[in-house]
Amino acid sequence: MNVDLINSADVIGMFCRLHINSKRDLPIRSSEMGMLIYTHKQRCAVTPLMVSQFFNISKPSVSSMVKSLTKQGFLIKESSIADKRSYTLVITEKGKNLVESTSIEYFKAVELLKERMGADKFGQLVELMEIANCILEEDNR
């Protein structure tokens, strides 16, 4: 196998491990925190399908997170008037407080990268990651 490819995979893998394993004092899983942040910043009603598509995860995974977050009081499910089987996700005050109080810690690694890399290099990194995400999303379809 190509040595450059192996080294590149090692670098990418290390980046992912360092980011995932960074210490976060969260009362919920980081994937659930991601869902809360997503729900909090949307200006329209959020559906489980929207979450599934945004994070590129299965509907059962979304359902599991919704169940956990509602049980802990961070989200509520509002039933649709038109279709009683459908619902939207609404972040509670408890959820909003968690997002606001932990956002600095949650984004600490990203802020560190931007600060130390400089705005130009950081912008290039984000742009290249967006391109990489698109390629991988297309390949996963």
Give the predicted TM-score (pTM) of the model: 0.70
Distance of alpha carbon 73 from alpha carbon 91, whole angstroms: 9
pLDDT by residue (tens digit) across 29-69? 888 999 999 999 999 999 999 999 999 899 999 999 999 99
Considering the domain delimited by 3-106, tell me its CATH architecture. Orthogonal Bundle (1.10)
Residues near 102 by beta carbon (within 8 Å), at least 6 away in sequence = 24, 25, 26, 33
Q: What size, in residues, is the chain?
A: 141
* Residue 106 pLDDT: 67
What are 79-138's pLDDT values in tens digits?
988 777 889 999 999 999 999 888 776 678 888 999 999 999 999 999 999 999 889 888
DSSP string, 51-115: HHHHHT--HHHHHHHHHHHHHTTSEEEEE-SS-TT-EEEEE-HHHHHHHHHHHHHHTHHHHHHHH
Cβ atoms within 10 A of the Cβ of 12, count?
Answer: 11
CA 111 to chain CA centroid, nearest Å:
16
What is the H or E stretch that residue 120 is in? helix 119-140
